[in-house]
Structure 1
């Protein structure tokens, strides 16, 4: 029987569905916020869609993570009548869903006019720019996420307060915790193998119930697919175990935020060698890697809403909690926004540590890559590397990051670099979606405000 990983073509996709005797398959794609949306589709409809595409109502490009409709975008809205948007199915994304009795999942991406706004399509266009420059792109993402002994119902009954983490106390890298809960860890590892987002390493992080998982490196588009599926199906697996997983950037002021670090490297298409590795230079940093770092550093403030996409993202970016506050870089320095990891031809890379767990993997990877490519194109040089604790040092004002989602969105839409690398349609639409997110937040009264002002003011 055909293995899902061997599916590459339309014919392969049809063959594996027939071999498994499936009457339906699952089809999904990712929206602005990195949320996977989709449906079960009959075999006949799926076979037709493989050849001719199909359509989703374009409202999924025009609403937020709570299904509330944007009122400030041009592509879709009441003014367009919410027509269908065309979608292509990607046979090579075939996965088996292990707990659905042989069910297959295929991913799709928007096409035609909607492709300009599609997160996966946006990343693919940036990768094509790297290809034109003579580079193959490789990436890997790693995520921190909290697990709770809660269900969607219990969390809402509690008003998302006083939630019970899977495990108590601060206990990073704990063999005790991962041995006691080994059944869950093995389920995660097995899920990664079956669904082709293999886990390179997984361990407890510092904080109650927090886990960190590193996904194995792959070509950039595959790395983003793996990360997006990882986030989706970790939440599915948790709920099937009467647990909940959250990838919020910061769910409590008492604990560190949750990161979504991005590891990137370039290899020369001409000879297959690392474009980042030069053993004759200090820390093996090649000229190309130096320019790449410079681009990431200089443009980090402009690409920030793709890396920190929610109001909550900015609660994580404070000193002393393992999240950077300025666009700094250093060698093996975890207090900086960019961490150069010296190694061999195989392992020389840069870690974009600013990324938070709530980011859409396609867009965060696109931002990290696009900004680096701009550095190569313009042959920029980075600022002096930071040595020691970056939080305790003064940095150039140009390296300061916007402190709110609104400010980040303004910088993003005014940037010539974002427009040249991502396209005007995407920049305008995505900036509007982040402005909407901030406006929605302003409508609500927080617990902090009630506690601070209700009686005293």
Structure 2
């Protein structure tokens, strides 16, 4: 894939100039991880590759429903929504097989990110600042993301016409790891696998989960920076592919009370940047768990309450965190234990890692990975020790107060705002902006009356 070998702006410009396309597509992450972007004509696009371009900063000043925040400082009516500087990452170039240019050639797509002052709150730039810290400490970070998502025989119009009730799932009933279902619906499965290969976000495994129409896709391991890009791309373009097949996919944390929530698990490890060897693997220790991995796990555990809003960023995220639904409730860790928030996975020097199981599928991949990496690095810097390892069912055990996680988005936002670690790793501007946007989200929810409230109180109270 010629476009995935682009190393800098000059190579990207040569590729663009040789292309028969008249327009090119860019996308950047807003604060919620929603991809915002546009087409740019060839001459404008080449100019942008050389010196950047301007993009209305409202993309960081509105929520996922395009409502303007009234409580943030970065932008708003008080600033009159000026343009922000944006840079295109030439190394992110890839083909987008889902759409053709006017000459029939597959579209060329690039990831962009905010620059200048706006870089302080740009999710991709926040992550890259944490990665720079890891490099200073002598580490290269690797990661892989796993996403669960439900599929429906619906369209954006039909779900609205139904008021999001009585939706028809893609397949009925529970049938985890079904070979029958993947064979019957093989056209979509193979299309999704092919798209992922073509866009350099290869799926390592894909299968049905327990629940009607739910799938789980594990994206192959890569550098942490690339893993974040691939998660960002996968969440947008898998949904686009589904709609092209007359289906819909949702990554919301929990779409129905009777079914399990949808996770966005993170697998993460550190390598020594000078030797290329594993920082986590020590075969002389129990579970091959090095002292550095123990410190990293301790940091993940210690700071999980602080960064919970980055793992679980919506009101809906917290409906997933209830007993008995495979979602952890406390900042716990165990070895090969899927009831704990952190699962240490022993293995070889290539596979020794930790899985962060607290995150939901709705999380912005840039911010969820930034939260995990920063927490672990802080654990190494501070030489922390993890609490006692959990054996058995964590749901049936009691844990000390410091391991309790925020139970609401509002509470999580307050933890983030008060976190010295978060401010040190992400910057004050980001912490203030993101915490304020989560408070906004909670306020919007309070404006609404739920079906549960009506059924519980309308007649009786």
* Shared fold per TM-score greater than 0.5: yes
Unmatched tracts of structure 2, length 5 or more: 101-105
- Structure 2 distance, partners of 1:341, 1:19, is 47
Q: Does the 8 Å contact 2:332/2:340 carry over to 1?
A: yes
Three-state SS of the structure 2 residue aligned to 1:92 is helix
- Residue by residue over 1:118-137, the C-alpha shift from the partner in whole angstroms, topping out at 9 and shown as x without a partner, is 00000000011111110000
Give the number of aligned pairs: 456
Give the match for residue 19 of structure 1: 18
- The answer to whether structure 1 residue 200 and structure 2 residue 204 are counterparts is yes
Deviation at 1:18, TM superposition (A): 2.5
- 412, 415, 418: which is aligned to 1:408? 412
Alignment of 1:173-192 (within 5 A): 173-192=177-196
Alignment of 1:154-233 (within 5 A): 154-233=158-237
Three-state SS of the structure 1 residue aligned to 2:71 is coil
Deviation at 1:20, TM superposition (A): 2.3
Give the match for residue 240 of structure 1: 244
- Structure 2 distance, partners of 1:337, 1:293, is 11
Give the match for residue 96 of structure 1: 95
- Residue by residue over 1:208-247, the C-alpha shift from the partner in whole angstroms, topping out at 9 and shown as x without a partner, is 0000000000001100000000000011011111110000
Deviation at 1:10, TM superposition (A): 1.3
Deviation at 1:179, TM superposition (A): 0.6
- Structure 1 distance, partners of 2:346, 2:153, is 40
Give the match for residue 285 of structure 1: 289
- The answer to whether structure 1 residue 77 and structure 2 residue 81 are counterparts is no
Alignment of 1:8-47 (within 5 A): 8-47=7-46
Unmatched tracts of structure 1, length 5 or more: none
Give the match for residue 299 of structure 1: 303
Three-state SS of the structure 1 residue aligned to 2:459 is coil
Three-state SS of the structure 2 residue aligned to 1:324 is coil
Q: Does the 8 Å contact 2:98/2:241 carry over to 1?
A: no
- Structure 2 distance, partners of 1:18, 1:145, is 38
Give the match for residue 366 of structure 2: 362
Three-state SS of the structure 1 residue aligned to 2:91 is strand
Give the match for residue 446 of structure 2: 442
- Residue by residue over 1:413-454, the C-alpha shift from the partner in whole angstroms, topping out at 9 and shown as x without a partner, is 011111111110000000000000000000011111111112
Three-state SS of the structure 1 residue aligned to 2:453 is helix
- Structure 2 distance, partners of 1:56, 1:236, is 24
Three-state SS of the structure 1 residue aligned to 2:167 is coil
Deviation at 1:139, TM superposition (A): 0.4
- Structure 2 distance, partners of 1:394, 1:170, is 31
TM-score w.r.t. length of structure 1: 0.99
